[in-house]
Amino acid sequence: MAPPAEILPDSSEALATTESSWTDQGACSAVCALILDDRRYNVQDESQPSSNRRRPLPPSLYAEIVAPFLRFDAPLPNMLYAFGGRNQRKGPLNAVEMFDTWHGNWVPCPSMPTRRAGSAAAVLPDGRFIIVGGYDEKGIAEGLLASCDIYDPRVPCWEKDGAKPISRARWGHGCAPLGGKVYVVGGCSLQPNAQAQEASMETLRCCEVYDPEKDSWAACSPLQIPRSGSRVVALDDRYLAAIGGCDDVFGRAETQATVEIFDIRSGHWTLLAGELLNPRTTAAAAAIDGRRLLVVGGAPSLSSAEVYRVDVDGARRNRFSSEEEPQVFTSQAIKDMPDGRMGCQAALINLPGPGDKYPMATRKSVVIIGGERCDEGGTDYPRVRQFANVPVFDVETGEWRTDAAVPTMAAQRTAVALCVGVGRITSPLPANMGSRSDSFTLA
């Protein structure tokens, strides 16, 4: 999010609100006038004699004194949403948390109408979110979902079954928007006409695309390799990247180091010649620019991280081709994530830089949400630890933040769905509440 001194002059409508805690009703207008005045002097208006110029007010005054009291009618961008997931004690959840990048707090949102773990989410062209598939409290077979709920962050409210269901119910799939449509990629599903039991599950190559204008799903080109636990991200408004995953979850279960690219122009998936440094499934992945992907963690509870450079010119349509193919440098190892985990997700948002405070969120950052770690520990039963803390990767420095840039979430969970979009900000929580987990109830 831009600093207040850059955003407020263009948000006069947002400042005109009756819900205000200013003691002076003219205070908002006065603050806007000050900011505009600061802007004028910042551009060195030579028409004004130097004796008439004053020094601009420090940005910290706006960030620490003014910003916490502002009220906005319109939602603001750069808000991060975590939908559902699976909690070790509660099972699949309908809980929703939004990270408010204005105040730097996690806040509860209206609960989902359907409990979902292993689902996926994407932003629709009109700014609403679509939550696709997954499984509910009945489990991965009997509770397998094809339904799609819609969340409108502007209201905010849910529309149960707000979009047509996908034709093939699935969980562990990837999902991303591209070209005004939403693509659902791979995952696990029941074999056609099979009993609802784990023995009947298969890992999918098939993909579907949703057209919001027609409210309809259609089949699209299948993956080269079946993938569940793959992460799918959009690149340059033209490509989708399907990263890693497992090709046979209920069989020999080979974890993939491969990356596939979908080109919206050709309508086909192709394998890239270069692979990840480590095979990964249920890792966290986010595009940090039009060609580079940050890929972190994954089964079995990895802490390793790498920056993978997508080379679309190095794509190959058939991995079994005998033709000689040029191998290019594609991935570089970076410092390990603080906590090894699998079942995590990643998102790119703007945060305050080191030493800055909210709402001065101008630093491009990748946040890692949720996940779990399974430790054998020499006991008869593995010990599972789920995560609520949020590691932050600073794209500018290429390092993991050591400060508490993002507070701990209220809910420990894995297999969560993420989206970044607009959201309504609220009054800051009282100082004695912060982000306490007891202020948020797992439904």
Question: The CATH number of the domain where 355 resides is what?
Answer: 2.120.10.80
Decide if 177 contacts 126 (C-beta within 8 A). Answer: no
User: In terms of domains, do 86 and 32 share one?
Assistant: no
Q: What's the structural domain count of the chain?
A: 2
Residue 83 within a domain: yes
Residue 315's pLDDT is 66
- 59 and 85 assigned to the same domain: no
Average pLDDT score, the chain: 85
Per cent of the chain over pLDDT 70 is: 80
Q: Are residues 34 and 116 in the same domain?
A: no
**Among 87-101, 376-390, 398-412, the least confident range:** 376-390
Task: For residue 97, list its beta bridge partners.
Answer: 82, 108
Helix, strand, coil percentages, rounded to 5, for the chain: 10, 35, 55
Name the more confident of 235 and 5: 235
The per-residue pLDDT for 299 is 95
pLDDT for position 325: 42
**Does residue 320 share a domain with residue 409?**
yes
Q: Identify the domain containing residue 21 by its residue range.
A: 4-69
Q: What proportion of the chain, given as a percentage, has pLDDT over 90?
A: 68
**pTM of the entire predicted model:** 0.83
In SS3 terms, 104-138 reads as CEEEECCCCCCCEECCEEEECCCCCEEEECCECCC
- Measured CA to CA, the distance from residue 268 to residue 223 in angstroms comes to 8
pLDDT at 58: 78
Where is average pLDDT lowest: 194-198, 206-210, 362-366?
A: 194-198
In a domain, 431, yes or no: no
| Residue 430 forms part of a structural domain | no
* pLDDT of the residue at 14: 38
Say if residues 103 and 115 touch (Cβ distance below 8 Å).
no
In this predicted structure, the answer to whether residue 125 has a pLDDT above a threshold of 70 is yes
